[in-house]
Structure 1
């Protein structure tokens, strides 16, 4: 599954620094988007690799797209947003480097971004309604009713992700790639002295977004994160402890994006490769098989599986089978996050 996240924000907010830290690629393209892949760190993959010693270890990944920063007053803002229209999620970076960057100003910045994305969608729905309002085709009449509902929500300042859209409605509007349908993560780039207050900042800002389950907030210092990445790996834990940081915040950002998208990982493990595969929550075993190869999905027979927690407690397949913890499941089985699966199939 290919996943992408568009990074937006004003110039000098630190978004390109964050992009570089997450992907290892230089950000800040002046004239267009820059793309880079980020690994979704997973201690379960680390453990499986330590047991199997595979030739290859593959983590889940997210593609990040960094676009040139544009201030709200500048022309071209909508043009830059178009570079991230086809992403699955958005990450908005807000710079808060001064003590005077209080909750009120941060809430204002957040609201400004929410308003800009909502206005973009509102204009798109109005244009579509104008185009199809005189159509007599039954399908377009249904579309007019649906878009009228979308327009009503947007006029009431409600993002489209707040609507309970049916599966066929979601398919009908998928091609429009509405911004307010996408999960949205806010990253508050704070100054070093504010790091001890990072969690409190996050909690207060989350209260503002409490009615929107598909948004999140993380406070970090991109400057300190950059210093962490420049240290030898063996020196990083001591530095993190000294700064009062539980883990590199960039890893937390990547995992949070993964979670906001409603994604989980299942694993395949062997001497050739240990790999995390990405699927939507609620996906069936047969659908999961298709992530590996369409032939496995077509020829699906059974999924032999054990959950990671059981395997980590007893890393011996023979004992796990004797205990009844290794199971054979059919095509409708709903895969759980952390399932280790071996698919049985006919070619």
Structure 2
């Protein structure tokens, strides 16, 4: 899973990226300090893996991972090449979803490229640049498809979708707000439009707001906006995340407790990203390794088997499945089987988050 961290200059993108990946991307109080997209791989925290590793006496534990890309700050006119516009837009095309960092704190020592704090305006600036870029691409696509459709009537349906998209873009709205049917979604996904990518807004708030649970005035308007747009929203404090990143695991727990927080911003960011992209994890465990595998919600058992190896999907016979909750409660696989908690599932079984699986296949 690839997520791109975007936002206007100096909203906290690189600070957040450094904190959650420990990758050390340069962070400075001026625009464009991140010129190439810095990439960091983050292990997805999953306490179920720790329990299974101990239960099966596994030699190693392999969590699933997320790739974060810290993408250069954007300014007005990016779609026309302003600032690092063209690079910024091309980098966004490479990711599956966007984490849009929005500044919701005041600090006279950190300049804002627009002169003052206004999250909704900042979102509008970036959205507009994505929309304008998509509009330019779709206008070219329209001209080409109209010519081809004169001799190929099978393209008329495609032409209709393109026209609908252009109308929405011309009204200043992102493609992700259009209600497509399943067939149309496949076509539109292949267009790889910027404004069609799912967005998770990360409101970067002050340490005081996190600790005292203050009602940040900027968050109220942001919450209303996100509800209308059907996107995700989390609050995060870049400063606190930076401090957490420097601590050992046991120190992190103590630090979070002192702040009255149940989990770090990274944990919440990952959970929200999974929800946004419709992802779940299934688990495999044995003496050699315990491992988490990320798949889409709705995948059937053979597809999940193919995540491990394509031969397993081709030669799928059945899956032996027990939920992590049941396995953990019973204590081990032998007892789980004795209690009738291990099920045999066929090709039509839809995988669930936390399924502990043994795939049976023949090649």
The answer to whether the aligner puts 1:211 opposite 2:254 as a matched pair is no
- SS of the aligned residue for 2:92 comes to coil
Please say if residues 185 and 217 of structure 1, whose CA atoms lie closer than 8 Å, have aligned partners that are also in contact. yes
Residue-by-residue CA offset, 1:271-318 (whole Å, 9 max, x unaligned): 111111111100000110100001110110000000111112112323
Unaligned runs of 5+ in 1: none
Find the counterpart in structure 2 of residue 290 from structure 1.
Answer: 306
C-alpha change, 1:204 and 1:273, in structure 2 (3 Å) is: farther
Q: Over aligned residues, Cα RMSD in angstroms?
A: 2.4
Whole-angstrom distance in 2 between the partners of 1:30 and 1:164 = 35
Alignment of 1:254-269 (within 5 A): 254-269=270-285
Q: Which residue pairs with 2:30 in the alignment?
A: none
2:3 alignment partner in structure 1? 5
Give the deviation of 1:203 after TM superposition: 6.4
SS class of match (1:134): helix
C-alpha contact 1:199 1:219 (8 A) present in aligned 2: no
Shift of 1:331: 0.8
Tell me whether 1:337 sits opposite 2:337 in the alignment.
no
> What is the match of residue 208 of structure 2?
193
Residue correspondence of structure 1 range 105-184 to structure 2 within 5 A? 105-135=118-148, 136=150, 137-184=152-199
The Cα of 1:321 is off from its aligned counterpart by 2.0
Distance 2:269 2:47 in 1: 16
Structure 2, unaligned stretches of length 5 or more?
27-32
Assess if the C-alpha contact under 8 Å between 1:57 and 1:274 holds in 2. Answer: yes
Q: How far apart in 1 are the matches of 2:307 and 2:284?
A: 12
Q: TM-score, with normalisation over the residues of structure 1?
A: 0.90
Aligned counterpart for 1:41 among listed residues 34, 41, 45: 45
Alignment coverage as a number of residue pairs: 343
Q: Which residue of 2 aligns with 1:346?
A: 362
Preserved CA contact (<8 Å) 1:300 1:344: yes
The answer as to whether partners of 2:75 and 2:125 remain within 8 angstroms in 1 is no
How far apart, in 2, do the equivalents of 1:332 and 1:163 lie?
31
* TM-aligned CA distance change 1:22 to 1:122, over 3 Å: same
Deviation at residue 196 of structure 1 after TM alignment: 3.4
| Residue of structure 1 in register with 2:294 after alignment | 278
What SS does structure 2 have at the residue aligned with 1:210? helix
